[in-house]
Chain A
């Protein structure tokens, strides 16, 4: 019956992987806007003579640092 132990171990780890993936997706903001990406993917870019500016920023929302973002009180 030790095969059961192995199976249970694997099934729970697999489920745990999915949970981690879900948490990552939420943190990454994938549940904040469920409309714009669906449009964006259909808008292919036309070739253009103007080159885009170098993209310096990372692909994520930067974490807000306390000194750069004031509390917002009036």
Chain B
């Protein structure tokens, strides 16, 4: 994997002095200074002083501005659940009573400085013995002493320096995969060992060096060859034979069937030849075949360890919640034990784990994980809260109404489309071909055998029959798709487009429709334009900056950033009423900001000032100044991207939001393209399903959990992600939002890669036909087979790799 050492921060022409010393983001007007260094926020200053204190400043020498951007202050109780014995038990991988080992995924790891700092964790706490980073997996292994630092303290320590661990349910189930992982290497090693030795021992026979004088020697060579071929058949070739057997039992033929037939034919024909002294056998071809096939498998298996493609809602939900008991005591409850009727405490920034009713507190729920919409919604007591919402503001008390798995959002995962395996449903090219290929080979083999039997030559009939199976063994064909698409995957990865497996590349190439989500897909998540409508602001800017800085409401944050006054004035009598607005005194002047009725202090008819967009009104000493209009911003060059996509695909938009953006969105789309609003997760899924029933192959692009169903149902689901965090619903491919404009070229490249496979298939067929010419006559020599097999495989591998690389260049992806 090509990993950029410096992370993805572009320094461009911006001078280093205008960047935060810690994280490298541009300095705001109100910068923080410590010693001679400038920082963008308090979080960065805190981390810097901590590292300086512990003599860890080399962190800043290895990479420039290595820190993690926008350190979210982790609320105090965030890792409280790690104190729960049941959860601790599951996370600790090993413990001898004194030293414990734990693995954390740290999505923020991005450069060599990160590796250095995190492997020097022991300097930050005496309880930590050792820590080891696995960069590509974004994983840290920590050996620590639990009597000196608890698991919770450890997680908090990591979060405090900007590397917040992502602790999720799916992380517990990795061990089984790792075992499977290694067996491929063992098989490859054994096959390579046997292949090399058999080949050496076969040379004397091929070049007729073993003459009658050395009868004993030739016998020894044959015996050794047979012995060395046994592990190849009984160990290395097992995955192919097993897969062929499974596919025969399911009455469908995959490419492993002719492969397994070839392998078995080679082994038994060779054993027969050796036993009756009829020839040297095909043992080295067998070893080579299995060795090359395993290399193909190894190449095919791209594991993007830092992304998990198959996350379900559990990945987003907390492992445990805080339950309020009858007697108002609090206890930590693992999520699996949550039942309807339980009362829960949801703190600032915590997720609502199941559909619930608000009992107490000011709920300001951010549903951005669910819908992609970043404006929080205010809820009144007694109101219904959906699972997946995040509370912003002070803690609230809720009562669970439905179990986790029955909630509005999570119910989606009970849908049948989550239970089918997409890989099996999608017929890849080699899958389709192998069906006919196998039948053709069987017919040719039987015809050849029948012909020689008819001629009365039974030995020759047997020779011809086995020779056809051996020579037709579609080794080159089996290698063409792993190498062509494996290389395509690598090229796509360089453009920050991560595709789950090679079958997905074919699905992307085969698609004729593209369905897009709006928020987070057509618009970058969490950004937008702010427009001021009203009198020209001068001194008021500073006043309102001070007022807005008091509130943590996202709109207040954006308003403060837009106003950008850098004078810090103090605010008296600050008051915030959720769902309405804020007010306070600055310099003795009364300031109000919020909804129209709040600002004018009248029960006035909000209707007359009702507008479809999001606005914040401002007033000074009772006089209305105007309003800030927040609108969504579309991705740059969206029009051009869409028109390029339109060349090959039919487009549609499914949005969970209301209709207010329709007119602006329509500018980018032709009148015939459907734009649907207020779509529930199920409706999105159903829409894709209907398109598929109408015979379309559909790509879905989305980012929210509410797209998860549609992503799963579609033939290829692309999840968009912003930045390093990689917060994506389950999908087949992950595209970084900043590279959305490359989508047309990436899809064109996928189509070209599939064409390369078609071409390489022609080449391997040519080799097969040549071989068959000798095979049907029963005159196939082992030497000929031993040369033809590797030559055809190497041709195909080189051809596909060179051609896909060239295609990538042509599309401007390299």
The residues of A with any CB-CB pair to B shorter than 8 Å are: 1, 4-5, 8, 11-12, 15-16, 18-19, 22-23, 26-27, 31-33, 35-36, 39-40, 42-43, 46, 48-50, 52-57, 61-62, 64-65, 68-70, 72, 74
CB distance from A69 to the nearest CB of B (A): 6
Interfacial chain A residues near B185, Cβ < 8 Å: 22, 26, 31
Interfacial chain A residues near B119, Cβ < 8 Å: 40
Please classify how large the interface on chain B is, using the bins under 10, 10 to 19, 20 to 34, 35 or more: 35 or more
Instruction: Type the 1/0 row for B205-219, where 1 means its CB is closer than 8 Å to any CB of A.
Output: 000000000100100
Chain A's closest residue to B175 (CB) is A64
- Cα A53 to Cα B121 with chains together (Å): 10
Q: A26-B182, A36-B136, A62-B101 are in contact. List 13 more A-B contacts (CB 8 A).
A: A16-B193, A19-B189, A26-B185, A31-B182, A36-B135, A48-B55, A49-B55, A50-B55, A53-B122, A53-B126, A70-B90, A72-B173, A74-B172
B143 and A57 contacting across the interface, CB-CB below 8 Å: yes
- Cα A12 to Cα B360 with chains together (Å): 77
Interfacial chain B residues near A1, Cβ < 8 Å: 214, 217
A23 and B134 contacting across the interface, CB-CB below 8 Å: no
**In this assembly, does B558 line the interface, its C-beta being within 8 Å of a C-beta of chain A?**
no
B182 and A36 contacting across the interface, CB-CB below 8 Å: no
CB distance from B288 to the nearest CB of A (A): 16
A56 and B112 contacting across the interface, CB-CB below 8 Å: no
Subset of 26 A-B contacts with CB under 8 Å: A8-B201, A8-B220, A8-B224, A11-B197, A18-B193, A19-B189, A26-B186, A27-B182, A32-B178, A33-B136, A50-B55, A50-B123, A53-B128, A53-B129, A55-B130, A56-B98, A56-B129, A56-B143, A57-B101, A57-B130, A62-B101, A64-B93, A65-B94, A69-B92, A69-B175, A74-B169
CB distance from B184 to the nearest CB of A (A): 10
Interfacial chain B residues near A16, Cβ < 8 Å: 193
- Cα A46 to Cα B55 with chains together (Å): 10
Interfacial chain A residues near B123, Cβ < 8 Å: 48, 50, 52
Instruction: Type the 1/0 row for B787-800, where 1 means its CB is closer than 8 Å to any CB of A.
Output: 00000000000000
- Cα A65 to Cα B122 with chains together (Å): 25
Pick the residue among A4, A33, A55 that contacts B134 (CB under 8 A).
Answer: A33
B129 and A62 contacting across the interface, CB-CB below 8 Å: no
Chain A's closest residue to B173 (CB) is A72
Pick the residue among A4, A11, A36, A70 that contacts B89 (CB under 8 A).
Answer: A70
Pick the residue among A46, A52, A68 that contacts B94 (CB under 8 A).
Answer: A68
**In this assembly, does B234 line the interface, its C-beta being within 8 Å of a C-beta of chain A?**
no
A54 and B93 contacting across the interface, CB-CB below 8 Å: no
Residue among B92, B116, B181 with the highest chain A CB neighbour number at 10 A: B116
Pick the residue among B134, B190, B201 that contacts A19 (CB under 8 A).
Answer: B190
Leading 5 A-B pairs by shortest Cβ distance: A72-B172, A36-B135, A19-B193, A26-B185, A22-B189
Pick the residue among A43, A69, A70 that contacts B116 (CB under 8 A).
Answer: A43
Interfacial chain A residues near B95, Cβ < 8 Å: 68
Residue among B115, B128, B220 with the highest chain A CB neighbour number at 10 A: B115
Instruction: Type the 1/0 row for B122-141, where 1 means its CB is closer than 8 Å to any CB of A.
Output: 11001011100111110001
Q: A26-B182, A72-B90, A72-B172 are in contact. Are A52 and B122 (CB under 8 A)?
A: yes
Pick the residue among A11, A31, A39, A49 that contacts B135 (CB under 8 A).
Answer: A39
- Cα A36 to Cα B143 with chains together (Å): 18
- Cα A62 to Cα B90 with chains together (Å): 16
Interfacial chain A residues near B130, Cβ < 8 Å: 55, 57
